[in-house]
Amino acid sequence: MKIVSTIEEVRTQVAAWKKAGETIGFVPTMGYLHEGHLSLIEAAGENDRVVVSIFVNPMQFGPTEDLASYPRDLERDAALCEKYHVDLIFHPTAEEMYGESFYSYVDMDVLTKELCGLSRPVHFRGVCTVVAKLFNIVTPDRAYFGEKDAQQLAIIKRMVQDLNMPLTIKGCPIIREEDGLAKSSRNTYLSPEERKAALVLSRSVFLGKAMAEQGEKDADRIKAAMTAEIESEPLARIDYVKIVDLKTMQQVKTINGGILAAIAVYIGKTRLIDNFMISD
């Protein structure tokens, strides 16, 4: 496994693999890898070569968000990547990615204006821009994203479709702790008391999912039950509980086709997300 920090080194290595007729699977991450990332790396094993990027992208953090405190541990991440047969880690600096000045952005309408886009107004522009750049640098055949960030996954799929990017996007299921909490690098921020309180997210998601699976079609009724579950936890503060169309991210009243039921909840100062989806 190689660890490189320059765009040139990635291009040289990928060109050699492509010359040999090999396919490239790509897993973009911000590091501090957990089993969720490892499941993406495993899925990427369907390609001849696996590239993982580790880059805490400043552009997707708002001014009051956790860019400085976001957990980082390259040594630990590299050991995990080695164990999971990653061929190349791309670990650039912000300067390597954005240079001394940077003026070009990939932005998106509609899908970015709901859910996390409301409380994180610059987030998806930063995600789309960095992911588009990473796709241009790594030129993968397939790229892998977690369904925990369901809105991000829908946005990336749409960007690839709208901008005719020549790769396939693959979504992979949410990986949970044994007690239900969705795996996230941000779980490391939680105190023991908050960690217990955070279980309210998965409880709310499981409750909503069970209602939908039992045939409840009224989105407001499902949302009300999910909201009440979250409000039963004193340490939890709701950012949103919403049920949206899976393709447009616009709220629905009735569950007919594909939907995403998504929640964002502050546990103390830590903002966590979770969801369930029902496909078409």
CB atoms under 10 Å from CB of 197, counted, come to 18
Please identify, using beta-carbon distances, which residue of 52 and 181 lies nearer to ligand PAF. 52
Check binding of 29 to ligand PAF (CB under 6 A).
yes
Q: Which is nearer to ligand PAF, 197 or 264 (CB)?
A: 264
Give min distance, CB of 149 to ligand PAF, in A: 5
Instruction: Report if residue 108 touches ligand PAF, rule: CB under 6 A.
Output: no
Return the ∠ at Cα 56 (arms to 54 and 57), rounded to 5°: 115
Which run of H or of E encompasses 29? Answer: strand 24-29
Rounded to 5 degrees, φ, ψ at 38 are -65, -30
Maximum pairwise Cα distance, the chain: 58
For residue 168 the two structure tokens come to 């396939």
List the interface residues with ligand PAF, window 57-96 (CB under 6 A).
Answer: 57, 60
Q: In the chain, how many H helices and how many E strands?
A: 10, 9
Cβ nearer to ligand PAF, comparing 223 with 271 = 271
C-beta of 240: minimal distance to ligand PAF in Å? 18
| Contact range with ligand PAF by CB under 6 A, out of 2-10, 15-23, 25-33, 71-79 | 25-33
- Applying CB under 6 A, among 25, 28, 92, 117 the residue interacting with ligand PAF is 28
Among 37, 85, 91, 123, which one carries the catalytic annotation? 37
If 0-12 CB within 10 Å is exposed, 13-18 middle and 19+ buried, where does residue 9 land?
middle
Q: Is 54 in the site for ligand PAF (CB under 6 A)?
A: no
Least distance CB 152 / ligand PAF (angstroms): 6
Mask 130-149, x = binds ligand PAF (CB under 6 A)? xx-----------------x
37 is catalytic: yes
Contact present, 117 and 124 (Cβ < 8 Å): yes
Rule CB under 6 A: choose which of 10, 30, 43, 138 binds ligand PAF: 30
Q: What is the dihedral of CA 131, 67, 272, 262, to 10 degrees?
A: -30
- Per-residue CA distances from 79 to 4, 54, 124 (Å): 15, 13, 30
List contacts with ligand PAF (CB under 6 A): 28-30, 57, 60, 127, 130-131, 149, 152
The set of catalytic residues is: 37
